[in-house]
Amino acid sequence: MPKFCANLTWLFTELPFLERFEAAKEAGFDGVEVLFPYDVNAQDIVNARARHDLQMVLINCPPPNYTGGAQGFAAVPGVEERFQKDFMRALRYAQTLGAKHLHIMSGVAEGALAKETFIRNLRWAAAQAPKQSLTIEPINNETMPGYFLNDFDLGREIVMMIGAPNLRLQFDAFHAAKITGDVWGTWEAVRDITAHVQVAQMPDRGEPDQGEIDYPAFFAALDAQGYAGWVSGEYKPRKTTGDGLGWIAG
């Protein structure tokens, strides 16, 4: 079976945040990811992660805009200076936590200028942090209306165009199903440039068990293909988190 990690933004939310690390370890996870950990003292997270021998797999960039702005703006023209400032803040946080991946969010934008902006910002970020794994993730427009990176072909084009060894794709099977309707075909088209996988079931974004996507077959394929990265459960539990963890046992 692949290496499974728990997204603590979505899972174990019945517990206070710092208690979710222990719950994840007890449930059988060896890694965790947190979408926006910035409002928690970094050292407290480091201590919780280390206490339970967990890998911090991924966090999102940039830090959230608490004034109500959209999540992410790497593809938004005119705010490049803000992107650079917030990227460096997120990078320091990721390095403190020991996060393997830093996911750069494109934000809401469209058109050729947005694409140019996204590519320019990603090139700059990859050069600033050559030892940090960076990811970009296609997200469907139903979940995030207007999100610029809403297509896997576009994601592949951008990764290949930039050609930085530390910039790869983040493959969310739920978003692949929403965007293309073909999880398997989409995976085959991008698996060579994918550094991180996230899973949730269709159509309810619940546990990756019974539903439209054959996850046992997908996990078996990842093993057969030699995928060495993490597979994160990023889903909304149908009941309590503990009630729906059978999927990680195989």
Across the chain, which has 250 residues, the per-10-residue mean pLDDT values are 96 97 97 95 97 98 71 93 94 97 97 98 98 98 95 98 98 98 97 98 95 95 96 96 89
The pLDDT score that the predictor gives to residue 66 is 59
- Report how far Cα 237 is from the mean position of its chain's Cα atoms: 18
Query: What pLDDT does 71 receive?
Result: 77
Q: For residue 75, give both structure tokens.
A: 């593809």
The vertex-150 CA angle with 235 and 217, nearest 5°, equals 45
- Cα–Cα dist 95/133, whole Å: 11
Token duo for residue 166: 């530390």
The CATH code of the domain that includes 234 is 3.20.20.150
Quote the CA–CA distance of 131 and 90 in Å, as a whole number. 14
Q: Are 93 and 38 in contact (CB under 8 A)?
A: yes
C-alpha to C-alpha distance for 100 and 35, rounded to whole angstroms? 13
- pLDDT value of residue 67: 54
Q: Is 66 exposed, middle or buried (0-12, 13-18, 19+ CB in 10 A)?
A: exposed
Total domains in the chain come to 1
Q: Is 111 left (phi over 0), alpha (psi -120 to 50) or beta?
A: left
Residues forming the active site: 137, 234
Task: Name residue 20's amino acid.
Answer: R
Domain that residue 178 falls in: 3-249
Q: What is the rounded CA–CA span in Å between residue 35 and residue 230? A: 15
| pTM higher than the cut 0.85 | yes
